[in-house]
Structure 1
């Protein structure tokens, strides 16, 4: 029998044996892996690369050990070299698939569909970044090993090492921006400055971190636009992260009203609105007069919500309902320009409107709880402790 036929038959037989063995292993793992997440992930992600790598390795051994029947020295060496390259490539594919299995197994332990998912999003960001870096390293190493199988490349290795310093400097200067973004991406992943699904304000846009790579970050803006920024932006430019410590946030709604507004009545209306809405998380509901200059006063309603989306809807609801309340119940408190002609003693009926209900003072004469941002409750007292100035003792604020 001709030598090349023996080689072909040996290669086909080895491939068949490898395919049968891998299929049997796959079926066994599927049967035993119903209760094991690792087994399930291996059967889903690592089956195909393992099958290809095992088959190529078996064919390579069959061709190598059937040398006595090879067709010719040159053809045999070329075939073996191609098979070695295929073994290296498929092995790298298999190792990369194992990394995907490790990533999915790790991420399955941290749920992001729960209200308090800050730690889960942090782990998810770091695992995804690590997988991308590791896969890139595996690809580079595989290509390097494949190149080293060529004798010509091994022969010029000394010259390459000699000029590596100069080439490295030139490459670093040419890819300075790219390398800066890569290192910035690693810094973001492990410094916990920003994570996947964080709510941020960048470039005047409010959105959510949708994708975080080594070179760029994709921010999904609230109106479903995508803002793509280099990772170095987040290490060199200030930005707002609303969910770095927790998803609960505070928001304001401001009003310019007349000086005749009954502030306590408006404060009670804000409390009623907040308590009647499922958007409010029950933490903060404060109404304060923040400015009183010119012909109007500025009233700020501060409310809290469990997440940024709920806060946006709650702010809009508060703004809409309080505007309607002022219009329907306190029309004299709407913003206006005065030009009074007549009684200087303000005794005319149109010059003053008595409030329908007097404000309810506290028994101790202090400010009501819903008029205080830094105090009036556990959350306000904690906020007061956090914002004590460096030269002002905490006891002086009480």
Structure 2
């Protein structure tokens, strides 16, 4: 009967030459592929009733296959004797490859857990505030963990080389300077990493949030480990670093709820009655599918020298519907005013008369002191422009007193009975 030591000696005999080692490595790879195929089928059948587990298995399928193949090849290389040419170099390569495969598997596992959490909280619900919160936390934390795993894997792969370990030992002697230089060099990366963790925990923004940044209106489309992609309403993309959201103010329309109140401004004449406008607003909103029934207000918010400003407040379930509702209300009220009260819309009046003729709705003010109804002839140096309160130049002239020529004309005018003063 063959002892265990003799069995090991017989099994290690092909490893003393490269053809034998390659044959054993091929057998090991075939065994790894077969084991992966059988194990994947078994696990898929077990996880079929559980959709989240199926997502995890789909994500780690290829990393697990790569890891099994590298383990099979590495086992052959580590069992080969040192007398085999290039065996030591290939062992180092296999070690680095093994660390890379483990890092790949860990990163995909984190991504699988994140995707499973995201799929268990769909966004296509009526009130998706909680789902958006979960999506943001899962994706940002997952990316942060992935960055840490990649850094650890890269450091572990470098530490397999003796020269790198010697450099690290020499750097420890000047740890203060090295730490300062590394901190300054890695400040943007570390700043974005810390900002990502802050966003994941405090959540000033979430996926699908409606934000206004530097005058641009859009939705949070993606939150990566370094930047945030914002989909603007005209299908452009605004790329903002993560750290910007921590250091600068911005507007979030869906921080606590997607419900929003919109405003519609328009101007009408002072004679426009408000009651018919309010009735028309109510009729428009009752037939508007975008209105959620919460807010319906029409108020006079300003009064200028030409017209009065009306503000309409309407509410909707989200900002997209509110934009459509505002356009609907604006068009409806303007159509109503044009059809019912066209003469009460704002108008601009201009005096196009020449110096020789004057057309006005009211007679000019009498500066000469002549009796009412008389037709005084102003002197040549006195302008014939109407002196009414609507004339800003004339109004400024009244503040400084009448012109001297007016007193002269008044003193030489023939005496006439004085008209009674109007109260």
Q: Partner residue of 1:41?
A: 55
Higher relative contact order (CA 8 A, sep 6+): 1
Distance 2:52 2:328 in 1: 47
Counterpart selection for 1:341 from 334, 353, 361: 361
Q: Which has the larger radius of gyration?
A: 2
Distance 2:280 2:93 in 1: 79
Q: Does 1:182 align with 2:193?
A: yes
Instruction: Show CA shifts across 1:126-163 (max 9, x none).
Output: 21111111111111111111111112222333212232
Cα RMSD over matched residues?
2.0
Counterpart selection for 2:146 from 111, 128, 135: 135
Moved more, 235-244 or 312-321: 235-244
Moved more, 273-282 or 77-86: 77-86
Q: Partner residue of 1:279?
A: 290
- How many Å apart are 1:338 and its aligned residue? 6.4
- How many Å apart are 1:337 and its aligned residue? 4.5
Distance 1:63 1:176 in 2: 41
Counterpart selection for 1:18 from 6, 9, 32: 32
Distance 2:282 2:204 in 1: 35
Q: Partner residue of 2:123?
A: 112
- How many Å apart are 1:187 and its aligned residue? 2.0
Distance 2:262 2:271 in 1: 26
Question: The residue matched to 1:232 in structure 2 has which SS?
Answer: helix
Q: Does 1:270 align with 2:281?
A: yes
Counterpart selection for 2:183 from 149, 172, 181: 172
Instruction: Show CA shifts across 1:248-281 (max 9, x none).
Output: 1110101111111111211111111011010111
Distance 1:175 1:85 in 2: 25
- How many Å apart are 1:42 and its aligned residue? 3.1
- How many Å apart are 1:89 and its aligned residue? 0.7
Q: Partner residue of 1:95?
A: 106
Q: TM-score if structure 1 supplies the norm length?
A: 0.80
Q: Partner residue of 1:62?
A: 76
- How many Å apart are 1:74 and its aligned residue? 5.3
Counterpart selection for 1:85 from 90, 96, 99: 96
Moved more, 184-193 or 332-341: 332-341
Q: Partner residue of 1:389?
A: none
Moved more, 332-341 or 50-59: 332-341
- How many Å apart are 1:186 and its aligned residue? 2.7
Instruction: Show CA shifts across 1:196-217 (max 9, x none).
Output: 1111111111111112223222
Q: Residue 10 of structure 1 contacts residue 63 of structure 1 at CA under 8 Å; is this kept in 2? A: no
Moved more, 306-315 or 234-243: 234-243
Distance 1:314 1:271 in 2: 13
Counterpart selection for 2:233 from 201, 205, 222: 222
Q: How many residues align?
A: 340
Q: TM-score if structure 2 supplies the norm length?
A: 0.76
C-alpha distance 215-97 of structure 1, shift in aligned 2 (>3 A) = closer
Counterparts in 2 of 1:204-223, with a 5 A limit?
204-223=215-234
C-alpha distance 39-178 of structure 1, shift in aligned 2 (>3 A) = closer
Distance 1:181 1:138 in 2: 16
C-alpha distance 51-63 of structure 1, shift in aligned 2 (>3 A) = same
Counterpart selection for 2:242 from 231, 251, 254: 231
Moved more, 233-242 or 280-289: 233-242
C-alpha distance 121-134 of structure 1, shift in aligned 2 (>3 A) = same
